[in-house]
Structure 1
């Protein structure tokens, strides 16, 4: 099915200004929001259609492109994704065996993603809001400065892998590279652990984050904040 004209969807003229555009979208969103029309597939479709139209027409660059080229000019700009290709997949699956990403050195892990489910009122979902949320996250232990070792001591270089974090194992004609069983890939061992973090180097604390929720969110939508993960190593 061909897409309807975005201006027609919102019921506005092509020279509509930003304020009038927002008011038109609010009217449509309030009328067709799924919470007000449970089980009404047509209303849900109109809500999504209005959300898409407003996303384009409220953005000066997208609107200019749409005015000039129509829907065809926006193909590929309404979403996206990507992958690291075969090399990244190979390293992720077989890195422990073949020493992916260039071989030796302690393994480095990025921080885990944090996920939080936020309940919004209908008005907040339609018009947008800024919410403060408390999320438990792992932060660097201040007692040991993240080393995991008891204050006054330091982690020691692993004698098995000599700090590489990986060891080579000969199996027949093949020489395989595996995670060091002694230090578990860290390259160091801790003789006396920190009493605060029990050697982890990280402790759990609640952190308050300010999250801007855009107008027109629907049930199941996600708002992504970059750089707000747990710390890695």
Structure 2
């Protein structure tokens, strides 16, 4: 490979890369310009459509306003065309009774006052009757509530008395059971003490001599070896426990 080739080849590579970069930059700029142009065109189209929509909406509103004005004007014209005639300031009586002719007649005024007083008295009476009826109803309800409270109080007192009586009966029963249990315990301890003090080597005759009465039946032991003693077969010389 010649020295000239080694110096020219890197330069050619750099030149090619520079041209490729330039082409890519140009292509990218072209694409960006196209995209911007398309966006501007789309924006103009949207503005055009929006302007057309606004124009149509204004036209529709103007037509509706115009129709409303026409309808209002026609209604006013109809009212003006069919306006009723004015009432005259005065008319002839023609022998008929005029309204308000007896407003200042003393007799008529007195009758009207009496009627008003009668209506007023009737209203006062009706109001008083309603008031008395409400009061009577409230009194009856209060009496019923008082009676109910009294019965509830009496029932509570009776329940308390019964509960205390039951508690007292239970307390007496428990006391009697406790006393009985204590007495049974004392008797059992006494019996165990007596049995513990008796020598086991004593024969039946010696035990009968030292014991005056039977602990179970409380009989005297004068008849030794008979009905009040329980005999069991055993070897001679064995002690008997009563």
TM-score tier, shorter chain, comes to under 0.3
Normalised TM-score (structure 2): 0.16
Q: Which has the higher helix share?
A: 2
**What's the TM-score, normalizing by structure 1?**
0.16
Q: Which has the higher strand share?
A: 1
Which structure would you say has the larger Rg? 2
